[in-house]
Chain A
Amino acid sequence: MKFDIEMLLKSDARIVASTFVGISLLFIIVAMILGLDFNGTVNTIQRIMFLSAVYAMVVLALNLQWGYAGMFNIGVAGFMLSGVYTMAIITGDPNGIIPGLGLPIPIGIIGGVLVASLLGLLISIPTLKLKADYLAIVTIGFAEIIRYAANALTFKTFSIAGVEMGTGAGRGIHLPMNPIRNLYYTDPSNLGLGKTVFGQYVFGFFEIIQVQSSVVVSWTYAIVLIFVVGLFYLIIYRIGNSPFGRVLKAIREDEIVANALGKNTDIYKMKVFAIGCGLMGLAGILWQGSYGYTNPTTFQPILTFYIFIALIIGGSGSNTGSIIGGVVFASLLFEGPNFIRRVIMHVFKFDKAPNSIIEAIIPISSFDLGPFVAYSLANISSLRVVFLGLVLVYIIQNRPEGLLGYRKELAASIDISRRPGAEVKRGKRHE
């Protein structure tokens, strides 16, 4: 069979899989240049996959609201925070410094999703009549209020009906132990106590190829997340590619028309906002849950804008594009610059970077670019924002529909581009 790039890109699963494989290969090469050992390489790929999965999840949720229904929600970070904090409060140790309710993790996750979803619903009701820009103002205002509340000393600890709980204010709040550890260790809070049978086998296997147990645990978590991305995709695909999705698209295009065609658009908007925000809360929980700790600084508005950039790159309105956008953003644009710095520093063996821009610029007059390059690289995380801006400008000017936005993804539960029973007729006409 002839190798055909068109064929390869035909199926969405293949597009996603080839993106994952391509990104992995790229970072394997980077790891080789950096001279990382096998364990280090595996760990690097894990970090990339983990972040990619987190972004893919949130971008999918945003695609439902913005890509399909045109609801301009720029409070994404706030809904993620709501989910994470609710989960933290529900599962927190009642006798801890910041007391919680001490309930099991599944209840915490469900609670977090429900609260994020309910907040979304609450926000949507008074804003139903607002045009896109005003919804944007309300949502970003909400996100900032939530973040300030989480940061406020007033709520460090408080009690509702005699039950003590709190947000921990600026110092943040503990999240429950990563439940993946239960799979491998008999006592997750004290790893030295021993491994489960499953843990012994898996760790034993990976020891042979020299992968540390901590890397195995984090990889397991990343795989769970990639599985959840699949779940998000399925949910949003089913919602979008259906008569329900058609109404959402119509709302995005012209709400008055959708209304004049007998659709109660308010109800659709409320449902979509609640579901999208719930999924954002879940994505937040799964993201921060791996760190065992979270604080309000994580949920600054820039997080929301990162999500939007990822969606614009992938192609607003396309679910597969959302995943690709999330992966490309997280790996190449977000983590990429750090690796570029490490590679250049490693290959060219720069001296220590100068401390100020003056020290970096002066040597240029004597044609020594080294200090300037080293200085730029040392500050690459600030340059990342500039870089992101440039990418965004390029995309908006040259490919405003994003990577996959050009495709006709029809909102229907069946293929509505074909004419049932007309294939024969059409064939004849061509002859």
Chain B
Amino acid sequence: MSSSGAKKKQKGGKNSAKKYPLKVEKIGKRFGGLSAVDGVSFSVEEGSITGLIGPNGAGKSTTFDLITGITNPDTGVIKFNGEDITGKKPYQIANIGLVRTFQITRELKDMTVMENVMLAPKNQIGQQLSNVLLSKLRRKVKDQEEELLEKAWETLDTFHLDKLANEYAGNLSGGQRKLLEMARVMMMDPSMILLDEPMAGVNPTLKKQIITLIKKLSKNGYTFLLVEHDMDVVMNHCDPIIVMHNGEVMLEGTPSEISTNERVIDAYLGGS
């Protein structure tokens, strides 16, 4: 792992100095006797679409949970923009710009698409009780709501959900739910987005739309780390790619390095 890190630094040396907003250093997590994640280290480059792949049970989703504070690592350190976020609560991590979507979509089903999207923004003054109870302060809340509503419609346009704005989220198709989750986290003004299998169960047309969106956003400076099983997507659109196996990082490299590596092929085919 350290070797690939060194390689990156060399690569970075040629251009301007590259930034790595997310740095994961030797994190580990055990569940009972099972070691789900064992000494995993990697860094994610700013503006990149980094792929995280590996066979089922490799520890990808657990790594996501550890980074976003859903569970806390037993060992290791996670840094985001230089700040140690190890052991922080999910809401604290989300509020500093590191957000995620879930493998099994977690839409808020009895809320409309618009309510889902309007929930997300940070620093809503209307989330303070005094501001919503006192008549004088409510004016400000309403003003902010109007601003957020405008932004929400734009976001729904971007994610092709504008026609579904008043539909209950529970009535959306699987692919639309993936879009809704992404639209929701984008409303938080994040700087880095972790996507857990954004293409799973999504039809080819919608898949193309999602890829186009991710590429567009990454050009605009957003950083992506995504877990994905669709190898076409990973190999064509992610760079670099991190391969996990048995709770450890097996390899990190460009798509061509990964696709020709025998250990990776073995891991996927079940060899040892």
- Is the pairing of A and B real? yes
Spot the interface stretch: B43-51, B126-134, B244-252. B126-134
- B129 touching A253 by the CB < 8 A rule? no
Residue ranges of A at the interface with B (Cβ–Cβ < 8 Å)? 235, 238-239, 242-247, 249-250, 252-254, 256-265, 271, 275, 317, 408, 410-414, 416-417, 419-420, 422
- A412 touching B115 by the CB < 8 A rule? yes
Residues 69-113 of B, flagged 1 when their CB comes within 8 A of A and 0 if not, give 010000000000000000001110011000110100010111110
- B114 touching A256 by the CB < 8 A rule? no
Q: Which chain A residue has the least Cβ–Cβ distance from B126?
A: A243
- B165 touching A417 by the CB < 8 A rule? yes
A256 with B106: in contact, given A249-B115, A412-B145, A414-B145 (CB under 8 Å)? yes
Is the C-beta of B217 less than 8 angstroms from some C-beta in chain A?
no
How far is it, in angstroms, between the C-alpha of A419 and the C-alpha of B163 when the chains are bound?
11
Q: Which chain A residue has the least Cβ–Cβ distance from B68?
A: A260
Contact of B149 among A263, A275, A414 (CB under 8 A): A414
How far is it, in angstroms, between the C-alpha of A420 and the C-alpha of B154 when the chains are bound?
11
Shortest Cβ gap from B1 to chain A (Å): 28
Is the C-beta of B258 less than 8 angstroms from some C-beta in chain A?
no
For chain B, give the interface size range.
35 or more
B153-168 with Cβ < 8 A to chain A: 153, 165-166, 168
Shortest Cβ gap from A64 to chain B (Å): 12
Q: Which chain B residue has the least Cβ–Cβ distance from A408?
A: B112
How far is it, in angstroms, between the C-alpha of A410 and the C-alpha of B152 when the chains are bound?
15
Chain B hits for A235, CB < 8 A: 133
Residue ranges of B at the interface with A (Cβ–Cβ < 8 Å)? 68, 70, 89-91, 94-95, 99-100, 102, 106, 108-112, 114-115, 118-120, 122, 124-129, 132-133, 138, 141-142, 145-146, 149-150, 152-153, 165-166, 168, 184-185, 188
- B119 touching A244 by the CB < 8 A rule? no
How far is it, in angstroms, between the C-alpha of A414 and the C-alpha of B111 when the chains are bound?
16
How far is it, in angstroms, between the C-alpha of A413 and the C-alpha of B146 when the chains are bound?
9
- A250 touching B119 by the CB < 8 A rule? yes
Contact of A262 among B95, B118, B126, B133 (CB under 8 A): B95
**Majority DSSP secondary structure for residues of B touching A:** helix
How far is it, in angstroms, between the C-alpha of A83 and the C-alpha of B204 when the chains are bound?
60
Which are the 7 A-B pairs with shortest beta-carbon distances? Answer: A243-B126, A262-B94, A253-B108, A242-B132, A243-B124, A262-B95, A259-B90
- B132 touching A243 by the CB < 8 A rule? yes
How far is it, in angstroms, between the C-alpha of A258 and the C-alpha of B111 when the chains are bound?
13
How far is it, in angstroms, between the C-alpha of A259 and the C-alpha of B106 when the chains are bound?
12
- A261 touching B127 by the CB < 8 A rule? no
How far is it, in angstroms, between the C-alpha of A288 and the C-alpha of B260 when the chains are bound?
79
Contact of B141 among A253, A317, A413 (CB under 8 A): A413
- B108 touching A420 by the CB < 8 A rule? no
Q: Which chain B residue has the least Cβ–Cβ distance from A240?
A: B132
* Residue among A238, A256, A416 having the largest count of chain B Cβ atoms under 10 Å: A416
